[in-house]
Each structure stands twice: as structure tokens, then as C-alpha cells.
Structure 1
């Protein structure tokens, strides 16, 4: 169960990031389901990529997935993963929304 919690945090935060971005920049809106799905995928992928960056790996990487030193879930790492998921979910939604808008104009 502890291994699932970080992924759930990334999925939820990414979906939220995608929906927030779509509300702020209407031209990138993919619809509620599209924003959520693309954002959730961006949340997981972005957190995974960020965990490979030296310095960030200790904040969002292995600490949350292994349970930390005490054998429980590392709350600080989960907060880092949530923040990274939120931002990367918004970024991927923006990219996909921009591509969709560009294709619609052609």
C-alpha cells in the first residue's frame, strides 16, 4: 500500500494542475476529462523526470517510494511529489492543448 500512495499523489496533483491551467488559459482547454487525464499522466511523468535531477532526487525520489528511514511514508517527499506533479501536469496539458489548437487551425 505504501508504494501506491506516491503515485496516487502524483496522479491527483497532475490532474489538478491540468484542470487549473485549462481554467486560466481557456485556449488550451482539452475538456474536463482530457485535462484530467493528460494532467495526471504529466504529473507521474514529470515527477519521474524530476527525480533524476541531482538535488531534487532526495526531495521527491526514493524517499517517498521506499517509505523513508522510519518505515512509514515520508510526508515531506509526498509534498514535493505533489508540487512537482501539479506543475508538470499543467505543463503537459499546455503542450497538448497548444498542439491541439495548432492542428485545429490547419
Structure 2
């Protein structure tokens, strides 16, 4: 596995966890534990970045120029990984919270 691929997945997981935690704070009525928010955010982060990458055509960012600009991390620190990761993590965590609340009733 390429180092850039591994770093991209780590960025997606971190962004997803942040998105999951944010949605968990925003919707206090969703009684979820920390582990649920972390796992939902991490899985949603990777999935959201993957979906966004395919919607944008996979190569929407000039990785060579971005890598040179960011000192080697430009291809991993792009909007696809950060926004897709945070959005996917928030969406999946919100869905999990809604399902958990529906199961309680």
C-alpha cells in the first residue's frame, strides 16, 4: 500500500470522527455512546470521501501541483478527503442515531 493512500485514509477517518462527534453534539436526543460516534464517523468518513471522489471524477485535483504546494501531503489533504470524510461521518452517525432512537420507542 502506498504511503499517500494510507495517509489519505487516516485523514478521511479523522475527518469522519470529527463529523460524527459534531453531529453527536448537535443532536443530543440521539443517545449514542462515544464508541458508536467514533466508529460511525470513521466508517462514514472513508465512505463519504470515496463517494465524493467518484462523483467528482476521481481526478478533480491536480495532485502533482497540490503535492508540491503542501510539501508532499497535498494529494491527501484535499477537499475530497476532508469534506467528504467529515460529511460522510456526520451523515452515517446521524443515521445510526436516528435508528437507535427509533429502536428505543
- Scaled to the shorter chain, the TM-score interval is 0.7 to 0.9
Q: How many residues align?
A: 97
Could you tell me whether the CA contact under 8 Å between 1:29 and 1:35 is conserved in 2?
no
Encode CA deviations 1:76-98: one digit per residue, 9 max, x unaligned.
x5241112211110110000110
Give the alignment of 1:62-73 within 5 angstroms.
Answer: 68-69=63-64, 72-73=72-73
Q: Identify which range, 21-30 or 3-12, moves more after superposition.
A: 21-30
User: Hey, what's the Cα distance between the residues in 2 that align with 1:47 and 1:18?
Assistant: 14
Pair 54,17 (structure 1): closer, same or farther in 2 beyond 3 Å: closer
Per the normalisation by structure 2, the TM-score is 0.80
Q: Secondary structure at the match of 2:54?
A: coil
User: Hey, what's the Cα distance between the residues in 2 that align with 1:44 and 1:87?
Assistant: 10
| Unmatched runs of 5 consecutive residues or more in structure 2 | none
Pair 8,102 (structure 1): closer, same or farther in 2 beyond 3 Å: same
Q: Let me know the Cα RMSD of the aligned residues.
A: 2.1
Could you tell me whether the CA contact under 8 Å between 2:50 and 2:84 is conserved in 1?
no
User: Hey, what's the Cα distance between the residues in 2 that align with 1:25 and 1:57?
Assistant: 35
The residue aligned with 1:98 is: 98
> What is the aligned counterpart of 1:36 among 31, 38, 43?
38
Q: Following TM superposition, by how much is the alpha carbon of 1:55 offset from its aligned partner in structure 2, in angstroms?
A: 5.7
| Unmatched runs of 5 consecutive residues or more in structure 1 | none
